[in-house]
């Protein structure tokens, strides 16, 4: 399915009269198709895939992954961790450097779900020491050049010391090379493989030092195809997993980043209403950046079935759309279907999603892992500094 020729008929809802816009639409048949496509690409080895659920977020969608025997995940928040544990996960890596109260909350969740193998990222001796005795596994977070988190990949002695500090709780290495998205698809394999060459030199050095690596986690969506063409991961003692998550829903950047022949299809859209015609060549809909995320730039989306309409810079609630010369424009009140540029934060904008099949809304599902957990427990008891007495904290 070519990106600019995604057929509107495959997504249109027959009766939209009762839908309040903007609305998040999820097409479960297309979700299942993308899951099946991924498994096919992975040789039907579901254990090779550790999808990041910052994209899917819904318990209802996680259960669809579990129904396909995909039960190991990555996540970024304690709420995502809890959602995964509640919906059939057997192994969850909290791929975010949690500290303080967030770390203690991670321990609480892990203790609530003893049948789920919970792991976290570490990048220092101090972090590794914190998790000792908690029963939570640790992966060393490597910095592959993205300079977001992790320890530099050439600090071999320090990485070895961290693994030894973690002891039996050490599980492996986490290598997220998201910066490979800066390269066009046809140029991406070479720098991706060069990064994996450096990674394997580290793996060899650790194994020579007696460090046993159980799992090597690499590759978000941009580098996913080239992890599969890298021969250095084959025939090793460690288990290699890839962690693309956006492929479950597919935004228009994802569809451009991956080979067309893979066959991924959009599974999430935003339904938006035309609310104004401020000029002859512009109409405005209610798909502003509080609905369709603008974090990945402009245009924030594309209009399904209408390549002659180009979304412009949004404000909070408004999305102006430019109409090409001699092209027809919609009327006020018409509904349009928007394919997000970046689906992960777009899903996070909504409390609920409409599940759509065969032109009908078949259900409403909560976006279970939207946002974060409450910053304070409503039943928290605190000590007053002046009197030292314990009092109940009032949280409205």
Please spell the DSSP secondary structure of 282-336, one letter per residue.
EEEES--TTTS--TT-SS-EEETT-TTEEE----SS-EEEEE-TT---PPTT-EE
Q: What is the CA radius of gyration of the chain?
A: 23
Cα–Cα separations (whole angstroms), residue 76 to 182, 203, 350, 357: 22, 25, 18, 30
Give CA–CA dist 246/305, Å, rounded.
Answer: 22
Is residue 389 scored above 70 in pLDDT?
no
- Which pLDDT score, from 0 to 100, does residue 275 have? 98
What pLDDT, in 10s, does the model give residues 57-84?
999 999 999 999 999 999 999 999 999 9
Mean pLDDT lowest among 7-16, 227-236, 345-354, 372-381: 372-381
Give CA–CA dist 122/102, Å, rounded.
Answer: 14
Give CA–CA dist 163/70, Å, rounded.
Answer: 28
What pLDDT, in 10s, does the model give residues 319-339?
999 999 999 999 999 999 999
Give CA–CA dist 315/311, Å, rounded.
Answer: 12
**Kind of pairing between the strands at 268-279 and 137-143:** unpaired
What pLDDT, in 10s, does the model give residues 184-241?
999 999 999 999 999 999 999 999 999 999 999 999 999 999 999 999 999 999 999 9
**Kind of pairing between the strands at 72-75 and 117-122:** unpaired
**Under 8 Å CB-to-CB from 168, ≥6 apart: which residues?**
none
Q: Is it true that the peptide bond before 86 is cis, omega within 30 degrees of 0? A: no
**Under 8 Å CB-to-CB from 77, ≥6 apart: which residues?**
54, 96, 369, 372, 373
Tokens of 248: 């479950």
Give CA–CA dist 175/91, Å, rounded.
Answer: 18
Q: Which of 299, 332, 330 is nearest to 314 (CA)?
A: 299
**Under 8 Å CB-to-CB from 211, ≥6 apart: which residues?**
160, 163, 164, 170
Cα–Cα separations (whole angstroms), residue 335 to 5, 30, 273, 284: 19, 21, 4, 11
Is residue 264 scored above 90 in pLDDT?
yes
Is residue 387 scored above 60 in pLDDT?
no
Tokens of 212: 């046993």
Q: Which of 305, 298, 334, 304 is nearest to 319 (CA)?
A: 298
Is residue 351 scored above 60 in pLDDT?
yes
Domain at 28-262, CATH class: alpha beta
Q: Can you give the residue ranges of every domain in the chain?
A: 28-262
Q: Is it true that the peptide bond before 18 is cis, omega within 30 degrees of 0? A: no
Is residue 395 scored above 80 in pLDDT?
no
Average pLDDT over the chain, rounded to an integer? 94
pLDDT band at 2, cuts 50/70/90?
very low
Q: Which helix (H) or strand (E) holds 104?
A: helix 100-112
- Mean pLDDT across the stretch 136-165? 97
**Under 8 Å CB-to-CB from 233, ≥6 apart: which residues?**
196, 216, 227, 240
- Mean pLDDT across the stretch 160-179? 97
pLDDT band at 376, cuts 50/70/90?
confident
Q: Which of 114, 128, 120 is nearest to 102 (CA)?
A: 120
């Amino acid at each position: 399915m070519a990106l600019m020729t995604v057929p509107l008929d495959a997504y249109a809802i027959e009766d939209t009269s009762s839908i309040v816009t903007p609305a998040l639409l999820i097409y479960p048949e297309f979700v299942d198709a993308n899951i099946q496509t991924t498994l096919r690409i992975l040789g039907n080895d579901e254990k090779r895939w550790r999808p990041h659920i910052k994209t899917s977020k819904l318990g209802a969608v996680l259960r669809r992954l579990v129904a396909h025997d995909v039960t190991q995940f990555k996540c970024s928040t304690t709420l995502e961790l809890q959602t995964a544990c509640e919906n059939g996960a057997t192994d969850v890596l909290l791929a975010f450097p949690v500290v303080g109260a967030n770390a203690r909350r991670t321990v609480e969740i892990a203790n609530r779900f003893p049948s789920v193998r919970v792991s976290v990222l570490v990048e220092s001796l101090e972090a590794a020491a914190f998790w000792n005795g908690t029963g939570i596994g640790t992966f060393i977070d490597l910095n592959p050049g993205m300079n977001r988190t992790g320890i530099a990949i050439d600090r071999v002695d320090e990485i070895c010391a961290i693994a030894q500090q973690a002891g039996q709780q050490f599980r492996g290495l986490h290598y997220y090379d998201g910066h490979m998205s800066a390269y066009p698809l046809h140029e991406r394999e070479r720098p991706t493989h060069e990064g994996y060459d450096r990674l394997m030199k580290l793996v060899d050095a650790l194994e020579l030092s007696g460090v046993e690596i159980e799992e090597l986690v690499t590759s978000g969506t941009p580098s996913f195809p080239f992890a599969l063409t890298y021969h250095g991961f084959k025939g090793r003692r460690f288990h290699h997993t890839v962690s693309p998550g956006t492929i479950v829903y597919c935004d228009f950047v994802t569809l451009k980043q991956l080979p067309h022949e893979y066959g991924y299809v959009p599974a999430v859209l935003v339904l938006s209403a035309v609310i104004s015609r401020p000029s002859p060549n512009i109409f405005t809909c209610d798909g502003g950046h509080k609905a369709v995320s603008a974090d990945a730039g402009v245009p924030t989306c594309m209009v399904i079935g209408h390549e002659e309409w180009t979304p412009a810079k949004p404000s909070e609630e408004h999305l102006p759309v430019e109409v090409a010369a001699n092209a027809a424009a919609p009327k006020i009140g018409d509904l349009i279907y928007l394919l997000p540029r970046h689906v992960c934060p777009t899903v996070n904008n909504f409390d609920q999603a409409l599940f759509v099949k065969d032109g009908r809304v078949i259900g409403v599902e909560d976006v279970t892992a939207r946002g974060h957990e409450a910053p304070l427990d409503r039943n928290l008891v605190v000590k007053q500094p002046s009197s030292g007495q314990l009092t109940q904290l009032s949280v409205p």
